[in-house]
A and B are shown apart, each in its own frame.
Chain A
Amino acid sequence: AKTFTLLQSEAVFWNGKDLEDLRVDGRGCEDYRCAEVETDVVSNTSGSARVKLGHTDILVGVKAEMGTPKLEKPDEGYLEFFVDCSANATPEFEGRGGEELGTEIANTLYRVFSSESSVDLKSLCINPREHCWVLYVDVLLLECGGNLFDAISIAVKAALFNTRIPKVRVLEDEEGSKEIELSDDPYDCIRLNVDDVPCIVTLSKIGYRHVVDATLQEEACSLASLLISVTSKGALTSMKKVGKGSLDPESIFEMMEMGKRVGKSLHIALQKILDEEESLGTSRQKVGFLG
């Protein structure tokens, strides 16, 4: 997001022409920065999550609202993505400055979730052709510290995991008119199966190496990066190249293999922390924004 100008020799230092597995902050090429994940941070959403990855800070809220299914898919609900780039993140987002980036991220999320297996959209259908659940996924960028896409996808998955949609029943009277009845018990709700929700892994080409989870400075040094979305089983669901540089076809396969490997461990770590948080239940004190 931020344009850095790096001194040539400084860039050489960050790049490291050799194939050593050492980055400026001591990480190896396949290491992520330490991430913090917390769900259920916004009370008036159906599900929310906040993810901090280094200095990148993302808040995602999921709101379930009733709507009409799309004509081409009458028995499915759908997801809507919106990305808001807060001017708190960087002054460049002030006014309409963040709009372009926001749309780019939202479009990427639509593509990542376009695969039918990622979320079971049929479970979001209430009444074919008439009513379905629409999940509005709102992403808010609070701070940009590099690797936005990965952090956002982690936050989206965590928020979807946290999402609780109230159970409704469709009652039909003799005249055929339908009525929707909401369950009285607020804890009576459905949850989404997020096992197949993909996460994005961005691999940036720096020098001759490919690194994951690039910091802002590393992003400034990288000419091209490959964005791939991987499910927990290691299946690749979408791919996108960003940056003005070019990538060698051979290295793309190498990057894909690396991305799958890293993606798998990313999903394992995320699922572990989500399960841990859930098992603690209400006994855990929420940290939120003032912690």
Chain B
Amino acid sequence: MAAVSMRLPVARKAVGPSAPRGGEKHLVAPGDTITTDTGYMRGHGTYVEEEKLIASVAGAVERVNKLVCVRALKTRYNGEVGDIVVGRITEVQQKRWKVETNSRLDSVLLLSSMNLPGGELRRRSAEDELAMRDYLQEGDLISAEVQSVFSDGAVSLHTRSLKYGKLGQGVLVQVSPSLVKRQKTHFHDLPCGASVILGNNGFIWIYPTPEQKDEEAGGFTTNLEPVPLSDREVISRLRNCIVALVTQNLMLFDTSILYCYEASLSHQIKDILKPEVMEEIVLETRQRLLDLEG
């Protein structure tokens, strides 16, 4: 049965500070004066005019000694060494792949900084170079770690661990990188029956939890078997939950996603994206997270 729901738009409600969390953040909008004290140094997201330090982006002010930066809420991804990212191959070049990772410049993945199928460790020969498209081709998604950041901000990736590599079946959700919480691990097998990779670059990959961790192939064979309906339902629900959390600007990490998933269980999957349902489940999630903090 076709379901078409239409509604009148409602004005956005002004939300107060979510909770006393000890030490309010110093938030600024573009053009706001951060400080009139001339003793500070101008960092990212700021500029000096008439001896005042002014914000050029909306976000939170961060101070490191004399350096003042504004960390923008809505931004492209700024790579840092050790970050886990999910990216899409856009180009195959000589000895390297270009990867789109939501940063200002395309990232690169060198042929020499990946494990060849079969986990072989050897010099990369000309044959390997010719076979590059067999490993990864345009449009493929990969998970990788940031190996280094060039002076212009471009990122070099590596997949030198069996954790990383080509991604198979699943769903990609793109969010703002500032909403992904930095944690020890960004690979999570959630108890609800699916796994997520929370890329620091705001690309989130949701996929069915692999049954046996078969590392032999080095992650270059993709399983094209259809995913059972029950798994797909869980993945769809997780996807909608993440979209809900992001619309309400809640940080993404395993606990918040799981709490949101549990809060959504009383609703149908497609109803989660209705504004009022979204608000309700995110409120419940936020409450549980606050209780957890104590």
List residues of chain A with CB under 8 Å of any chain B CB: 5-10, 12-14, 16-18, 20, 22-28, 30-38, 52, 212, 261-262, 265-266, 268-270, 272-273, 276-277, 284-285, 287, 291
Q: Which of A5, A9, A30, A31 is the most central at the interface, judged by chain B CB atoms within 10 Å of its CB?
A: A9
| Residue contact B7 to A261, C-beta cutoff 8 Å | no
Interface residues on B, range: 35 or more
- Which of A13, A26, A212, A273 contacts B240 (CB under 8 A)? A26
Q: How far is the CA of A268 from the CA of B233 in the complex (A)?
A: 30
| Residue contact B169 to A285, C-beta cutoff 8 Å | no
Query: Given A35-B6, A262-B2, is A25 in contact with B236 using a C-beta cutoff of 8 Å?
Result: yes
| Residue contact A10 to B236, C-beta cutoff 8 Å | no
Query: Given A18-B226, A25-B236, A36-B9, is A10 in contact with B4 using a C-beta cutoff of 8 Å?
Result: no
CB A265 to nearest CB in B, in angstroms, measures 5
| Residue contact A9 to B239, C-beta cutoff 8 Å | no
How many A-B residue contacts, CB cutoff 8 Å? 134
Q: Which chain B residues (131-183) contact chain A, with CB distance < 8 Å? A: 138-141, 167-172
Please, which residues of chain A bring their CB within 8 A of the CB of B226?
A: 12, 16-18
Which 6 A-B pairs rank lowest in CB-CB distance, beginning with the nearest? A26-B269, A5-B139, A30-B2, A26-B270, A13-B169, A291-B11
Task: Check B222 for interface membership: any CB of A closer than 8 A.
Answer: yes
List residues of chain B with CB under 8 Å of any chain A CB: 1-12, 88, 90, 138-141, 167-172, 222-224, 226-227, 229, 232-233, 235-237, 239-240, 243, 268-270, 272-275
| Residue contact B236 to A30, C-beta cutoff 8 Å | no
- Which of B2, B3, B8 contacts A276 (CB under 8 A)? B8
| Residue contact A31 to B275, C-beta cutoff 8 Å | no
CB A77 to nearest CB in B, in angstroms, measures 29
CB A279 to nearest CB in B, in angstroms, measures 11
Q: How far is the CA of A86 from the CA of B139 in the complex (A)?
A: 27
- Which of B2, B138, B169 contacts A9 (CB under 8 A)? B169
Please, which residues of chain B bring their CB within 8 A of the CB of A269?
A: 4-6
Please, which residues of chain B bring their CB within 8 A of the CB of A17?
A: 226
